[in-house]
């Protein structure tokens, strides 16, 4: 299947670039998109998210008509979110929609491709930085063609950790996010950062700029592509409680090495959002 998957990956890169162009034009357009909300008043979506997802799906369908899709906006519109063994394109048309709405310059198109529930390639295009991150399973990770390597830092005190606040603002959730953050800042680490895009945070781990990133509440489309970019750059993925990373669990911890990851696990107050593949309530 080598050539077929390579063909698919080449197509993903081309369509991500095209999608990125649409995102850039929309971001600079003075006639701003209407902003709509989804699961909460801070979970945003625009017509550009929807338009870009359709553009990607249509273009892939023409070339690979038998493949399956999990797309953020298609799921929001009622499509099922189930990962099967079949070749599946996992798409976030705009990762960092809040950034997009505010013209904060970290916005990515994320396309992962899985077969037998294993990610075979990942493409994350940070469209305002014009950085194309790519990885194929077993073949390394790259940014604009240059190989990526995670940081060699083993001392948590000298680490930068990427974090996000997500879009769940229920008091109990916010308390857990802040208590974890307080413990991590107090280790102390060199600093905490957050790009406002899970995919870009993961690519920063892969690039060695930050040692780790964790979040509870992300979705499969936020991290499918970038999870492979991290592991192909020599990093590791695990659950925030230390078990194996599960794509559909809505929890991720990506780190440059096991010891940094395990140290963070000790400080994270975890919780369990509804899984991406949970059966829908009737
Ligand atoms: C969001 C971003 C954000 C993260 C949220 C994601 P979206 O994705 O990745 O950084 O904190 O959990 O849902 O909505 O911009 O595609
Ligand atoms: Ca999105």
Strands 35-37 and 44-46: antiparallel
Q: Ligand 1 centre and the CA of 197: distance in Å?
A: 5
> Are residue 141 and residue 162 in the same domain, yes or no?
no
Please give the average per-residue pLDDT across 242-267, as a whole number.
98
pLDDT tens for each residue of 99-126: 999 999 999 999 999 999 999 999 999 9
The tokens for 145 are 């063609």
Task: Determine, yes or no, domain membership for 19.
Answer: yes
Residue where a domain terminates, one of 113, 147, 181: 147
In the predicted model, is pLDDT for residue 92 greater than 90?
yes
Whether the predicted pLDDT of 237 surpasses 80: yes
Catalytic pick from 53, 164, 215, 222?
A: 222
Tell me the best of 213, 222, 225 to mutate to test the pocket of ligand 1, counting ligand atoms within 8 Å of each CB and taking the most.
222
* The pLDDT value given to residue 59: 98
What is the β-pairing status of strands 212-216 and 160-162? parallel
Domain carrying residue 33: 2-147
Catalytic residue chosen out of the listed positions 33, 49, 53, 72: 72
Residues 85 and 23 in one domain: yes
CATH number of the domain where residue 160 is located = 3.40.190.80
Question: Which of 99, 114, 95, 115 is CA-nearest to residue 16?
Answer: 95
Q: What is the pTM of this model?
A: 0.97
The ligand 1 atom at the shortest distance from the C-alpha of residue 98 is 15
Best CA proximity match to 101, nearest among 21, 43, 52: 43
What CA dihedral angle connects 178, 180, 184 and 186, to 10 degrees? Answer: 60
DSSP string covering 77-101: TT------SS-EEEEEEEE-HHHHH
DSSP 8-state symbol, 158: G
**DSSP label of 34:** P
Q: Cα separation of 216 and 272, whole Å? A: 8
Say how many domains are in the chain.
2
What are 203's two structure tokens?
């690519």
Q: Please state, in angstroms and rounded to a whole number, the distance separating the CA atoms of residues 212 and 237.
A: 10
- 10 is an active site residue: no
Q: How far apart are CA 171 and CA 95, in angstroms?
A: 25
Q: Is residue 6 located within the same domain as residue 141?
A: yes
- State the chain's mean pLDDT as an integer: 96
Are 235 and 255 in contact, with CB atoms under 8 Å apart?
yes
CATH code of the domain in which 120 resides: 3.30.540.10
Residues 9 and 141 occupy one common structural domain: yes
Q: Whose CA is nearest to atom 5 of ligand 1?
A: 166
Quote the pLDDT of residue 282.
45
| Known active-site residue 94 | yes
How far, in Å, from the CA of 155 to the mean position of ligand 1? 28
pLDDT per residue over 121-171, tens digit each?
Answer: 999 999 999 999 999 999 999 999 999 999 999 999 999 999 999 999 999
Cβ burial of 192 (10 Å; 0-12, 13-18, 19+) is middle
For residue 59, give the 3-state DSSP assignment: helix
Nearest-angstrom CA–CA distance, 167 and 153: 31
Please tell me which residue in 46, 88, 97, 134 is annotated as part of the active site: 97
Of all ligands present, the nearest one to the C-alpha of 226 is 1
> How, if at all, do strands 68-71 and 88-95 pair?
parallel
pLDDT of residue 281: 53
Ligand 1 pocket list (CB less than 6 A): 72, 92, 95-97, 164, 166-167, 196-198, 215, 217-219, 222
Report how far ligand 1's centroid is from the alpha carbon of 1 (Å): 33
What is the distance in A from the centroid of ligand 2 to the CA of 49?
Answer: 7
Considering the domain architecture, whether residues 11 and 135 belong to the same structural domain is answered as yes
Closest ligand to Cα 215:
1
The DSSP bridge pattern shows strands 236-238 and 212-216 to be unpaired
Determine how many CB atoms are found less than 10 A away from the CB of residue 138.
8
Q: Residue 39 CA: which ligand is closest?
A: 1
Return d(Cα 234, Cα 198) in angstroms, integer: 18
Asked if the structure places residue 104 within a domain, the reply is yes
Note whether 182 and 125 are same-domain residues.
no
- Distance of CA 192 from the midpoint of ligand 2 (Å): 23
Give me the catalytic one of 33, 53, 92, 215: 92
Q: Are residues 6 and 143 located together in one domain of the fold?
A: yes
Q: Does residue 280 surpass a pLDDT of 90? A: no
């Amino acid at each position: 299947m080598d050539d077929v998957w390579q063909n698919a990956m080449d197509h993903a890169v081309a369509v991500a670039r095209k999608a990125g162009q649409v995102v850039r034009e929309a971001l600079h357009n003075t006639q701003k998109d209407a902003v709509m909300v989804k699961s909460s008043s801070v979970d945003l979506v625009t017509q550009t998210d929807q338009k870009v997802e359709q553009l990607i799906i249509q273009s892939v369908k023409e070339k690979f008509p038998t493949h399956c899709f999990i797309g953020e906006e298609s799921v929001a519109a009622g499509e099922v979110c189930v990962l099967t063994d079949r070749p599946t394109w996992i798409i976030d048309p705009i990762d960092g929609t809040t950034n997009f709405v505010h013209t904060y310059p970290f916005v990515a198109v994320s396309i992962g491709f899985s077969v037998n529930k294993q990610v075979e390639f990942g493409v994350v295009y940070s469209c305002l930085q014009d950085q194309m991150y790519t990885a194929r399973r077993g073949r390394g990770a790259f940014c604009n063609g240059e190989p990526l390597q995670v940081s060699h830092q083993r001392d948590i005190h000298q680490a930068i950790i990427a974090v996000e606040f997500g879009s769940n603002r229920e008091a109990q959730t916010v308390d857990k996010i802040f208590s974890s953050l307080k413990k991590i800042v107090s280790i102390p680490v060199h600093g905490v950062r957050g790009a406002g895009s899970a995919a870009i945070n993961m690519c920063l781990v892969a690039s060695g700029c930050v040692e780790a990133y964790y979040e509870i509440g992300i979705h499969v489309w936020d991290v499918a592509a970038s999870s492979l970019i991290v592991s192909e750059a020599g990093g590791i993925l695990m659950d925030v409680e230390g078990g194996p990373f599960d794509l559909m669990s809505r929890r991720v911890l990506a780190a440059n090495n096991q010891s940094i990851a395990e140290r963070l696990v000790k400080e994270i107050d975890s919780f369990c959002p509804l899984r991406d593949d949970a059966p829908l309530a009737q």
